[in-house]
Structure 1
Amino acid sequence: MTKPLLCAALALFSTVTIAEAAETRCGWLQNPTPANWWLDDSAGTWTLMTQGAGDEPEGFDRIPDISAGDYVRTNGNYGYACACMKVETDASQGRILAIHSFRQLPIAQCANDTALPAAE
């Protein structure tokens, strides 16, 4: 195999590996207080960040102002929404490490999903 062909094959393989590592997670996106974010889905709770820890996942800026969509306020400007995200996770830590895409859904979609816990 020629060097350019080998490089192209390796680039394609690494792209496929990254795409396979990403998974879609849907559920309650919680932001109850400043810089505290997590997602409750059918598999459990996934931490995006905690205040003071400086642990914002790569791609966190893909999450828009969720209060501009279908949203429930629970604490001043804070609350929760229903969302689906394409993410990379660390299952052993229950953490979301990277966010590749974000889509906010109607609250009713999560509220009617019996696989999800009740919103808090």
Structure 2
Amino acid sequence: MKRVGLISACALIALAPLAATAAENRCGWIQNPTPGNWWLTDGDGQWTIMTQGSYEAPGMEHIGDISAGDYIATNGNYGYACGCMQVDTDGQGTIAQIYSFRQLSIGKCENDEALPAPN
């Protein structure tokens, strides 16, 4: 009986990572209006990615230079793009971890009725 219990416990431990919460796929406006300030606006609202001098989501390096793709400049070297991110959120409006980023055409977000216009 102890052997069966040990095997069951080992199986549960081996499967535990599979039960972890999967990253969320969030798509919308990726905005960088001023130095050190970034957020994502999707159909669920606005998600903080970075605030100057305060918070930076781990994995920020996955975003890269959004001005190298389809991009709208609004403030000198700053502006917005459309993209999708694999992230973890805190459920309170903050992106807690960035796993990947894929920039899309501006038209993709412009044609998405669930998205508000970028501000």
TM range (shorter): 0.7 to 0.9
RMSD: 1.8
Quote how far apart the aligned CAs of 1:26 are.
Answer: 0.4
Query: CA offsets per residue over residues 4-45 of structure 1, 9 Å max, x none?
Result: 9855752542244042xx111000000000000000000000
1:47 matched to which residue of 2? 48
Q: Residues 74 and 3 of structure 1: is their aligned pair in 2 closer, same or farther, counting only changes over 3 Å? A: farther
Shift of 1:58: 1.2
CA distance in 2, matches of 1:4, 1:37: 48
Contact 1:111-1:119 at 8 Å conserved across structures: no
The alignment partner of 2:58 has SS state of coil
For residues 97 and 7 of structure 2, what CA distance do their matches in structure 1 show?
Answer: 30
Q: Which runs of 5+ in 2 are unaligned?
A: none
Bigger Rg, structure 1 or 2: 2
The residue that corresponds to 2:72 in the other structure is 72
1:109 CA displacement: 0.3
Show the counterpart of 1:102.
Answer: 101
Question: What's the TM-score once normalised by structure 1's chain length?
Answer: 0.86
Aligned with 1:10: secondary structure?
helix
CA distance in 2 between partners of 1:76 and 1:17 (Å): 42
Corresponding residue of 2:13: 10
Q: 1:81 is matched with which residue?
A: 81
State the alpha-carbon separation in 2 of the partners of residues 26 and 82 from structure 1: 8
Number of residue equivalences: 116
The letter of the residue matching 1:73 is A
The aligned counterpart of 1:119 is 118
Q: What residue number does 2:63 align with?
A: 63
Partners of 2:63 and 2:11 in 1: CA distance? 32
Secondary structure of 2:20's aligned partner: helix
